[in-house]
Structure 1
Amino acid sequence: MTGSASELARRLGDHAEAVCREYLSNGHRSGNHWIVGDVRNTRGRSMHVRLTANAKGPAGRWVDEASAEFGDLLDVIRESCGLVDFRDVADEARRFLAMPRPQPRTSGAQRQPAAARGSPDAARRLFAISQPIAGTLGERYLAGRGILLPTHERVLRFHPGCYYRDLLTGETQTLPALIAAVTDPDGRITGLQRTWLDPAGNGKAQLADPRRSLGHLLGNAIWLGLDPGAPVPVTAAGEGFETMASLRTVMPALTVAAATSANHLAGLTFPPGCRRLYIAADADAAGRHGIERLSQRAGDAGILALALRPQLGDFNDDLRHLGPTHLAAWLSDQLAPEDAGLFLPPDEQLGPAGG
């Protein structure tokens, strides 16, 4: 961590409770900690911010027991405000430190949550300054994963120098990144997912967490092939972007949604007119929970939910190692007959190959 960042973090720690009241307004004080849902100011109890220094460390350090994320108050400002560049984070921290310390408010006081100012707007800002994906390292990265999407896919962009901060060491750098917009079913951008890439073209960047999301994610998704406002009678949903982009590669007429996590998959908002929902299976426990919860919600809404299962680890593994023709054939027995006829190439409607 640079000296200036260390000094800012220390000064913010001197006013840890005031920082939390400003940027984590959906939380509350409990003893010597501030309790909130996560670093993006979601309501809940899984994130604990240390308000006073003790033997375990300085004030302002925090840990999210649900996600295992941790960091300092600069991370709180960055994530709750949806900031991208460290310069903007530092400017916001200095602005805050120059203000009079706010007095603790009673529980009945009302204020505009800090996250409402930042995350979706920051996502839209970053998406707007990113460039179309055609001809970029982002397009080459996807092609290297076997993913070929229409050039007019509106939710994908590329940023040649996207800010990244290591939550463990505090070190910062800029790297090229694939930018995928998270939208609601009406096409409004509510967040985004950044996938940092190796500048030499060797896949993802060598980072502890090369993929991060920001903004309002719950209920929303990275929608591929969505025509905002139009009925979507048949769709497919899953956790990972590359999983769902792989399905769309072999079924380009199918609208798909990548919810970015199992919890967000469980809470996905159904598109208008949805009658049948295919859910891309995930083998881990969290993935199974997301699938079961989404299936239950779909049933309650009168939507038929059907599972799609990969032959290998996931559908991108199938696409890369078995090829698009084999993947399409593998899917043909899992789709309703009318959907196989609508979404699969004619030669792939005969049943799975090599199954």
Structure 2
Amino acid sequence: MTGSASELARRLGEHAEAVCREYLSNGHRSGNYWMVGDVRNTRGRSMHVRLKTSSKGPAGKWVDEATSEFGDLLDVLRESCGLVDFREVADEARRFLSMPLPPPQLPPQPAGAQRQPAAARGSPDAARRLFAMSQPIAGTLAEHYLACRGILLSPHEGALRFHPGCYYRDLVTGETRTLPALIAAVTSLDGRITGLQRIWLDPSGQGKAQLADPRRSLGDLLGNGIWLGHQPGAPVPVMAAGEGFETMASLKVVMPVLPVAAATSANHLAGLRLPPGCRRLYIAADADAAGRHGIERLSQRAGEAGILALVLRPQLGDFNDDLRHLGLGRLAAWLSDQLVPEDARLFLPPG
């Protein structure tokens, strides 16, 4: 028996139902599948885990129909236990399988220092730990990545961090590696970090890393968002919201005093919690129709709360495309016709 990720995943698959009962306890068995809300053990039925190997694939593989996420049981252990490093995931798998753990390899610590305990179950704790382990983006590859996309934000934007060696695991091959990553905090309206989004970067500085999925989220995302320019507890009479981080960061560049929130996906956009006192909500759309249901649902919820919802549409694929290819001035002029005149005067640069 080796300690490789693929072998550990296979061994866990041999005990798929037992793994699900332990780590996805809010679900239930339905035929040859375990049904649950998501990989973080939320109640629901959108995620199903294959319990027996069949012509459709090996036991232990899972798909979340609501988010299109997929993976194996190592991902279940990582997300449900709030683990960050692959070594922690592998140790948890060996513990469950009653396998001997490898000798500990702990870095030296100053005399008298106390080691931080493992993250408690629930990925929000893991998100907070990873964010705390990261550093401000000033002077880092993350700042360079954003600048190359035309995104120049205030250094006081505390939602963004950089991690020089963030763990990444290929969901198909099981191979693991560490890469630099932009870390964006997902927070609740009171400013508490509930999750985060990791964007792995090419170490050469040429954009995102060449990965099948260089962007992944972690933690409690529903209702929360990547907030830029929002002070917890402060009134937010006017705001903008959208699906992608780069899209909303681009709008923040053009309208630096407007609070914006990136919900990380269309489903999460539909469930974004709006701050008390909000009167107008601008929802950023992409040129395609993939996120239309999120926009429609959020607009409906806003209307039911007495909030005027208006959709902002880009000229190109999204607002980051507009910012990069058309420039700040042309994007501002394009937005001026879509904003309420009062908001155009307040948030857009003069001229």
TM-score of the superposition, structure 2-length normalised?
A: 0.90
Higher helix share: 1
My pick for the range that moved more, 225-234 or 329-338, is 329-338
Out of 180, 202, 211, the residue aligned to residue 207 of structure 1 is: 211
Deviation at 1:116, TM superposition (A): 7.8
Structure 1 partner of 2:265: 261
Change (3 A) 1:54 1:329: closer
Residue 186 of structure 1: how far off its partner (Å): 0.9
Aligned length: 331
Q: CA RMSD in A?
A: 1.7
CA separation in 2, counterparts of 1:63 and 1:345? 45
Residue number among 221, 227, 230 corresponding to 2:225 in the alignment: 221
Tell me how far 1:87 sits from its aligned partner. Answer: 0.4
Deviations 1:101-145 (A, max 9, x none): xxxxxxxxxxxxxx9822100000000000001000000000000
Q: Does 1:162 align with 2:166?
A: yes
- Say yes or no: does 1:191 pair with 2:195: yes
Structure 2 match to 1:104? none
Q: What is the alpha-carbon distance in structure 2 between the residues aligned to residue 265 and residue 202 of structure 1?
A: 29
More off after superposition, 275-284 vs 149-158: 275-284
Structure 1 residues 46-55 or 315-324, which shifts more?
Answer: 46-55
Q: Is the 8 A contact 2:186 2:195 kept in 1?
A: yes
Kindly indicate whether residue 20 of structure 2 is the aligned counterpart of residue 20 of structure 1: yes
Match of 2:317 among 313, 319, 341: 313
Structure 1 residues 9 and 339, CA gap change in structure 2 (3 angstroms): same
Deviations 1:292-315 (A, max 9, x none): 111111010010111111111111
Q: Are the aligned partners of 2:82 and 2:120 in contact in 1 as well (CA < 8 Å)?
A: no
Counterpart in 1 of 2:152?
148
Matches within 5 A, 1:1-355: 3-98=3-98, 117-347=121-351
Please give the alpha-carbon distance, in whole angstroms, between the structure 1 residues aligned to 2:55 and 2:309: 52
What secondary structure does 1:142 align onto?
Answer: helix
Query: Could you tell which deviates more after superposition, 60-69 or 195-204?
Result: 60-69
Give the partner amino acid of 2:8. L
Q: Give per-residue Cα distances to partners, 1:67-96, cap 9 Å, x unaligned.
A: 443322111111222322110101111222
Letter of the 1:24 counterpart: L
What is the alpha-carbon distance in structure 2 between the residues aligned to residue 53 and residue 305 of structure 1?
Answer: 48
Gaps of 5+ in 1: 100-114, 348-355
In the alignment, what sits opposite 2:110? none
| In 2: Cα distance, 1:287 partner to 1:326 partner | 25
Off by >6 Å, runs of 4+ in structure 1 = none
C-alpha distance in 1, partners of 2:29/2:37? 13
What SS class does the counterpart of residue 11 from structure 1 fall into?
helix
Unaligned runs of at least 5 residues, structure 2: 100-118
Q: Which amino acid aligns with 1:23?
A: Y
- For the residues of structure 2 that align with 1:344 and 1:97, how far apart are their CA atoms? 58
Query: Residues 6, 170 of structure 1: CA spacing in aligned structure 2 closer, same or farther, 3 A cutoff?
Result: closer
Q: Which moved more, 1:62-71 or 1:278-287?
A: 62-71
Residues 295 and 305, structure 1, Cα contact 8 Å, conserved in 2: yes
CA positional deviation for 1:52: 2.8
Aligned identity (percent) is 86
